[in-house]
Structure 1
Amino acid sequence: MPRNTMSFSVESGFADDSKFDDDGRVKRTGTLTTASAHIITAVIGSGVLSLAWATAQLGWIAGPVALMAFSIITWFTSILLADCYRSPDPVTGRRNYTYMEVVRTNLGGRKFQLCGLAQYGNLVGITIGYTITTAISMVAIKRSNCFHKNHIRDGCHTSNNFFIILFGFIQIFFSQLQNFHKLWFLSIVAAVMSFGYASIGLALSIVQIAGGAHPKTSLTGVPVGKNLTSMDKMWNTFSALGDIAFAYAFSTVLVEIQDTLKSSPPENKVMKRATFIGISVSTIFYTLCGILGYSAFGNNAPGNLLTGFGFYEPFWLVDMANVFIVVHLVGAYQVFCQPFYGFVESWSKKKWPESTFITKEYLIDVPYCGIFNVNLFRLVWRTLYVIFTTVIAMIFPNFNDVVGLLGAASFWPLTVFFPIEMYIAQTKIPKFSFTWIWMQILSCVCLIISLLAAAGSIHGLIKRLDTLKPFKSES
């Protein structure tokens, strides 16, 4: 039902005011706990276990500094974004339901179009990357059991295709959940899973160190030598920055998460606390995984401690960690899909408001589960989207390089540029004032870092094109 119609009904007494928010929508029930869980789910992906490799490329000085710098920058810009959810006043103003609505309200015009291109392109890339990553973790379980049974370190290779398709079937089911309000339980479970596998990775690194492993490490990372040219060192350094930038590029879903919160206390205050909790917890795990993983494996740190088989035993613990990764990414896939789903469905309803295929909701009573809303357009469109990401994941088994490029390219506009520009516009910060100048300097520095990271990802993608084998992904 359109916003104006619903609001009129509430104001006229045709509905119970206590069941609706100030915008006429059903009262939101999100809390600090659910918002924090959503954020942790969005931030901590399986990429946390690749940070040992990133630290190895950067070294003991630049590695931890980069992790902390990205964390602080992301937290700062997320705080700015929280104040832009309502406009023009951050507490009593009109709600903006999506990231793009915030951009349109505060900046409008061409910047709004560029935001849409960056945001939704990034979200599609992430979901394809998660499909591949989940399949690799599923295969890793099978491989670790093979290693344990046959006592070998090579071989036991398995096609990823079956597991990519299996993940697709799972997502078709979960994709029918309407929005973030229906995802709170999935995000909490996924957040617990992220703690689980990150903790296992940390514990195994500590055991490796305690066992007397003394791998070579360096203040500047993997040294240039016989197996690494100075050019390769440079590209690897840029790629490492891209990995870290992508790990923190989750701003695209922050507004949608904030839109789930109860209106009292004010959403921006709760969201700032949730952001601090989410990013703090994530940064602790990121830093520990990076530092301890580098300490355990040194310059030979694998791309992923659990799927790259930096560890082989105890095999059951490695299996458990990979199960945690799979469960987590099932939830994370949906967290990143929801804004894109919402955009397409909202646009379709405005374009064809008279179409019952698009607008009509059917109530279905599912035994022991309650009543679910089913919409035919939502059923068909979301299913087709999941099929699309599944097929692309099978065609381009090295799509992670493309996702790295999308992450590097989107970090600056979505995490830094737009939040800063929107905050400046909403609070009317004078041009060339001290605050305006240092915010612009921060934005320019992040732009340069994103461009370098994108260059590293492009270089890695070009190197892998020669070995591309569609539908023949194998781990």
Structure 2
Amino acid sequence: MKAQALWDTSTSSCGDENLGRAENGNAAAADQFNKRNHALNHIPTSKQLDDDGKTRRRGTVWTASAHVITAVIGSGVLSLAWSVAQMGWVVGPTVLLLFALVTYYTALLLTDCYRYPDPVSGKRNYTYMDAVQANLGPRQVFICGLIQYSNLLGTAIGYTITATISMVAIKRSDCFHADGDSAPCRESNFIYMVFFGIVQVILSQIPNFDRIWWLSIVAAIMSFSYSTIGLGLGLGKASEGDHSHGTLTGVEVGDHSLGFATRAQKIWDVCNALGNIAFAYSFSMILIEIQDTLKAPPAENKTMKRATLIGILTTTIFYMSVGCVGYAAFGDAAPGNLLTGFGFYNPYWLVDFANACIVVHLVGAYQVYTQPLFAFVEDSMSRKFPKSNFIHKELEMNLPLGGPLHINLFRLVWRTSFVTFTTLVSLMVPFFNDVLGLIGACAFWPLTVYFPVQMYIMQQSIQRWSSTWLALQTLNTVCFFVSLAAAVGSIAGILTDLKHYTPFKS
């Protein structure tokens, strides 16, 4: 329509000539006319453009802070009470704080990598992978992409499991309310997981990431809602004086037949808890994208550093509150998913609402995390097979109550296959804490620590074996072993769970 308006308002002889050619089938002439007329009538001023020729960015420290908080606070908050319970009142909150400090520090390093080679006036990097490409080269960007997209796949699986657990929790909550706490309210997760998969198959056909902005807004509102309800219910439960409020060292080690954890189980669960906390703090992979929304001056890295401080500080206060209050509420018996603990089935309607918020949140979050992966595969295939009708042709269907719906066969097959795969894997390993721990472990060291540290060293030309280089590499090494331990603990937990799990049953 914009092109048609330009053609209709043109009075130049050159324009008329080009228009006539266009009507005779000369598309190239029409395109040339369109561009010329647009340039003559819509010349942007310097105040409307940034230094890269794009429309001037308008983001501020407050919008960036909101993006950080929205990105960080998610379903990972539900596992924090269990994570603190594995380590106790001393180590648990300390580890939460240490993860916050490491995430904040490496985020500061990453903010200086938005521009290259100079962090203030250099060329912009629009994505995390662009920053890796500019600073570390093509080999490292391949590794980064492999890790990043594998993490997106894992997150899709984790979100499918979490949403299913919440749907089952609603059904069980209603059952307990109707039949009493002693009722055998057992539910298979199969039907709920299939239902979630069907919903994602439909939503996955949305072709572009920018068309799901409304899902992000709804998901953010739901995230704050269920987290706040969990905190409120935890405060109410913790105020009761007829149960343990936790211990200094966490879950006790003793005779397994008496209900205590074995020493090996304690070690694996502590490692798994590290992965769960790492998952809760993961946001570095989208930091560059957030920074790309900021206006200048002041310099984007300065604004982003302030936004990161506000975001991480707010998130940490919230995480410490939920984790510690949840541990005080349940003691060493803190559930893996805060809202599915038995003690929270009253008031059942509030628990149902909170779990419904989780489901709605994860319906949107699944798309937010998978759309970049969809786009990457489709763009790669489009470049590799430029003449394939299967990949490029769009079929149009007219909906009875809506406009035309454009369906691409490759998009339909590929995205449906992806959702089917994540659903099947989720059915095989529906273990909340272990899966979240594994995802967090696999993403924390490379994306939150390694690449930001290496890019900072390269950009700042830090000399090898200097005190700064040694300090950064020490941080890098320590975080690598933390991630390794978390991954091993999560895998051990999954293997243990598989021994007692029958697929398609509760």
TM-score range normalised by the length of the shorter chain: 0.7 to 0.9
- Take 2:230 and 2:65, find their aligned partners in 1: how far apart are those partners? 22
- Take 1:33 and 1:174, find their aligned partners in 2: how far apart are those partners? 30
Please state whether the residue corresponding to 1:13 is helix, strand or coil. helix
Partner of 1:443: 476
Moved more, 288-297 or 171-180: 171-180
Residues 246-276 of structure 1: per-residue CA shift (max 9 Å, x gap): 21123223334444x1554554444434433
AA paired with 1:136? I
Q: Is the 8 A contact 1:393 1:399 kept in 2?
A: no
Deviation at 1:430, TM superposition (A): 2.4
- Take 1:368 and 1:81, find their aligned partners in 2: how far apart are those partners? 47
Q: CA 1:189/1:272 → structure 2, altered by over 3 Å: closer, same or farther? A: farther
Does the alignment pair 1:13 with 2:39?
Answer: yes
- Take 1:150 and 1:32, find their aligned partners in 2: how far apart are those partners? 52
Partner of 1:174: 203
Please state whether the residue corresponding to 2:463 is helix, strand or coil. coil
* Structure of higher CA gyration radius: 2
Deviation at 1:216, TM superposition (A): 4.9
- Take 2:399 and 2:449, find their aligned partners in 1: how far apart are those partners? 44
Moved more, 128-137 or 238-247: 238-247
Does the alignment pair 1:465 with 2:498?
Answer: yes
Q: Is the 8 A contact 1:103 1:422 kept in 2?
A: yes
Deviation at 1:36, TM superposition (A): 4.1
The one of 228, 236, 258 aligned to 2:269: 236
Does the alignment pair 1:113 with 2:142?
Answer: yes
Moved more, 151-160 or 129-138: 151-160
Matched pairs, number: 466
AA paired with 1:430? Q
Partner of 1:215: 244
Residues 333-378 of structure 1: per-residue CA shift (max 9 Å, x gap): 2222233223223322332344565457799999999999875544
Deviation at 1:135, TM superposition (A): 0.9
Q: CA 1:377/1:50 → structure 2, altered by over 3 Å: closer, same or farther? A: same
Does the alignment pair 1:249 with 2:249?
Answer: no
Partner of 2:160: 131
Q: Is the 8 A contact 1:253 1:336 kept in 2?
A: no
Q: Is the 8 A contact 1:41 1:328 kept in 2?
A: no
Moved more, 87-96 or 57-66: 87-96
AA paired with 2:380? W
Structure 1's unaligned 5+ residue stretches are: none
Q: Is the 8 A contact 1:397 1:473 kept in 2?
A: no
The one of 150, 169, 173 aligned to 2:179: 150
AA paired with 2:181? I
Q: CA 1:303/1:71 → structure 2, altered by over 3 Å: closer, same or farther? A: same
Q: Is the 8 A contact 2:272 2:433 kept in 1?
A: no
The one of 171, 193, 217 aligned to 1:188: 217
Does the alignment pair 1:381 with 2:414?
Answer: yes
- Take 1:299 and 1:280, find their aligned partners in 2: how far apart are those partners? 27
Q: Is the 8 A contact 2:276 2:433 kept in 1?
A: no
Residues 77-126 of structure 1: per-residue CA shift (max 9 Å, x gap): 12222222332233443333332222122112433232222211111011
Q: Is the 8 A contact 1:253 1:335 kept in 2?
A: no
Partner of 1:204: 233
Moved more, 50-59 or 244-253: 244-253
Q: CA 1:128/1:295 → structure 2, altered by over 3 Å: closer, same or farther? A: same
Deviation at 1:32, TM superposition (A): 5.2
Moved more, 126-135 or 297-306: 297-306
Q: CA 1:473/1:339 → structure 2, altered by over 3 Å: closer, same or farther? A: farther
Deviation at 1:446, TM superposition (A): 0.8
The alignment's TM-score, normalised by the length of structure 1, stands at 0.87
Q: Percent identity?
A: 54
Residues 214-245 of structure 1: per-residue CA shift (max 9 Å, x gap): 41522111222222222222222111112111
Partner of 2:347: 314
- Take 1:28 and 1:361, find their aligned partners in 2: how far apart are those partners? 33
- Take 2:251 and 2:43, find their aligned partners in 1: how far apart are those partners? 63
Deviation at 1:29, TM superposition (A): 6.5
Does the alignment pair 1:292 with 2:325?
Answer: yes
Please state whether the residue corresponding to 1:455 is helix, strand or coil. helix
Partner of 2:82: 53
Q: Is the 8 A contact 2:391 2:410 kept in 1?
A: yes
Please state whether the residue corresponding to 1:431 is helix, strand or coil. coil
